[in-house]
Structure 1
Amino acid sequence: MALPPQPWPTGEVEQLEPLVARVLAANASPYTFTGTQTYLVGTEDLAVIDPGPADEDHLAALNAAIAGRPVRAIMCTHTHRDHSPAAAPLAEATGAPVVGCAPLVIESSPDDSWPRVDAPFDSAYDPLRVLEDGEAMTGTGWTLRAVATPGHTSNHLCYALEESGAMFTGDHVMGWSTSVVVPPDGDMADYMASLARLYEREQDRIYYPAHGPAVTKPRQLVRGMIGHRRARERQVLKLLVDSPSEVSALIPVMYKGVDERLWPAATQSVLAHLLDLEKRGMVSRSGQAWQVSGAIDS
């Protein structure tokens, strides 16, 4: 999806529905679209979802949006650095507990050929309480229930606002792009299972992602995302049938026409597909080269 024309509503409070407001952080990039969207849920008292980067202007905008109201919880969907670092200073400013996803730090890459995989994560994230799948936080007129959606990261949670049918999907389902799945923490099989789980939820009226516009036909989008990933899997297998290849050789073919700044992320998602296919016995590798292990369906 192309970027919308500027100016973007960075730092402004946008009321999306009676219980939901949004504040956009000024961290636009090829990976974050127009920036991270922080959501405020409630009217008399609040939950803050994905407080975003620890940027002084963004924190000031959040405190202005809170406007002195009690904050019952600061809730993170996962701990990438564009989502959770503002949790600690916001908790200090408001006295609110940080609850939600589990902390996650990956110490090192298991393969020297991979990029350093702990760098995108917020190692300082320290929740007072980790929500398990199905647990809820409540306030005046609102209930946010955790829905475990591992895949993009192993600790990813979505939050369902039961009073309105809204779902806060973090990076698991975004309004502008598919999610990157970066091994070893990101797992394609988990990601696909989490998409299937969301597709089965007929009660969700709208998705509010951390990046990009709201999704008003959520099950239709999720069905398309599942189909997209299955198509990528078939594409990988077809290319490997034609010739065993390293991952880097697949990307220019598979992502022709895609902004080359996104190719490093695409490389990781293709690797995630390959690791999943390897577990299923459909591909194998010799050194850095991958090949199909047997006959595949056309």
Structure 2
Amino acid sequence: MAEPAPQTFEETGVAMRLSPLVRRVLAPNPSPFTFHGTQSYVVGEADVAVIDPGPADDDHLAALMAAIGDRSVAAILCTHTHRDHSPGARPLSLKTGARVIGCAPLTLDDDGPRADAAFDPDYMPDRVLTDGEQIAGQGWTLTALATPGHTSNHLCFALEEEGALFTGDHVMGWSTSVVSPPDGDMTDYLASLERLVRRDDRIYYPAHGDPIPDPQRFARHMLGHRRMREGQIRRFLDRQGSSTIPEMVATMYVGLDPKLLGAAGRSVLAHLIDLDGRGLVEQATPGHWVLAS
């Protein structure tokens, strides 16, 4: 995982205007995985949409209601269903009468050990958006963009009037995104990044970290970072012959915050699964990986 860059953030609970149509409200949930906290976005003026209402937190709900004021809420949209993004959707819906719209609910038969945020099991949208579907209000249009990888149900939302893309956790402004199998999928994640590189967005608004004003360059950098990691894995296996994930993490993530080592291991596993699918690595015995013969 990349180390966070120094950034200056507003205090939690304060609506900060980022553009004529976009305001940001920071939730009070800082952590090694959320940076300063989850950012909810209020889009529009006469009527609004709320993107990623965040955790089920009374103070954050009150801050969102203050940012909304007397405006009507056309929709509450969620990029994905990690617990720091979607649990606030239903309480906000009850307060405003708005429908919860966006990503599909996620059901896993076995979600395995996880180092990233847990999923929200109670998320029940009133409407699921598919790739290319739109939600519109007075002066704004949001288009859903399917970007699986960080989670299988991840969506970004494009604000057509401003050339902006709300990237959720697919692209963050402070660190690389955790890709944690079995739901996180590196093959899908890389394909979704390549999709973003081909777009002409003017700016990214991530759920964690500052806005990204040179988005295509940033997405290419993220792709390069992932290709660098897979190259490290292949070179390590070429030298060692056989290795486990903890051994790879210890070599490739020197100096990483110990709280993030579990997440690093999940991302290495995601890379190994992707490389295995491409016929480049394989498991010699359970948990021991080698270059494919």
**Please, what TM-score do these two structures have when normalized by structure 2?**
0.96
Match of 2:118 among 117, 120, 134: 120
Distance verdict in 2 for CA 1:222–1:118, change over 3 Å: closer
**1:178 aligns to what?**
176
Question: How much does 1:287 deviate?
Answer: 1.3
Cα separation, 2, equivalents of 1:127 and 1:134: 18
In the alignment, structure 1 residue 156 sits paired with structure 2 residue 154: yes
Cα separation, 2, equivalents of 1:255 and 1:221: 21
Cα separation, 1, equivalents of 2:36 and 2:115: 24
Match of 1:231 among 228, 233, 237: 228
Q: Which amino acid aligns with 1:208?
A: Y
**2:205 aligns to what?**
208
* 1:106–1:117 contact (8 Å) kept in structure 2: no
Q: Which amino acid aligns with 2:49?
A: A
Cα separation, 1, equivalents of 2:15 and 2:106: 30
Cα separation, 1, equivalents of 2:229 and 2:289: 16
* 1:142–1:161 contact (8 Å) kept in structure 2: yes
Cα separation, 2, equivalents of 1:163 and 1:97: 22
Q: Which amino acid aligns with 1:131?
A: L
Helix, strand or coil at the partner of 2:23: strand
**2:40 aligns to what?**
38
**2:99 aligns to what?**
97
Helix, strand or coil at the partner of 1:263: helix
**Please, what TM-score do these two structures have when normalized by structure 1?**
0.94
Cα separation, 2, equivalents of 1:208 and 1:287: 40
Distance verdict in 2 for CA 1:115–1:91, change over 3 Å: same
Which deviations, in whole Å up to 9, do the C-alpha atoms of 1:226-284 show, x marking residues without a partner?
A: 00100100000111111111101110111002212111111000000000111111111
Helix, strand or coil at the partner of 2:35: coil
Helix, strand or coil at the partner of 2:225: helix
Which deviations, in whole Å up to 9, do the C-alpha atoms of 1:9-58 show, x marking residues without a partner?
A: 21001011010001000000110010000000000000000000000000
Question: How much does 1:119 deviate?
Answer: 7.2
Question: How much does 1:107 deviate?
Answer: 3.0
Q: How many residues align?
A: 288
**1:132 aligns to what?**
130
Distance verdict in 2 for CA 1:188–1:34, change over 3 Å: same
Cα separation, 2, equivalents of 1:168 and 1:275: 28
Cα separation, 2, equivalents of 1:138 and 1:267: 41
Name structure 1 gaps, 5 residues minimum: none
Distance verdict in 2 for CA 1:116–1:229, change over 3 Å: closer
Cα separation, 2, equivalents of 1:272 and 1:23: 32
Give matches, 1:1-298, under 5 Å. Answer: 1-2=4-5, 4=7, 8-109=10-111, 115=113, 120-202=118-200, 204-243=201-240, 244-285=242-283, 286-294=285-293
Name structure 2 gaps, 5 residues minimum: none
Distance verdict in 2 for CA 1:119–1:13, change over 3 Å: closer
* 1:251–1:263 contact (8 Å) kept in structure 2: yes
* 2:102–2:155 contact (8 Å) kept in structure 1: yes
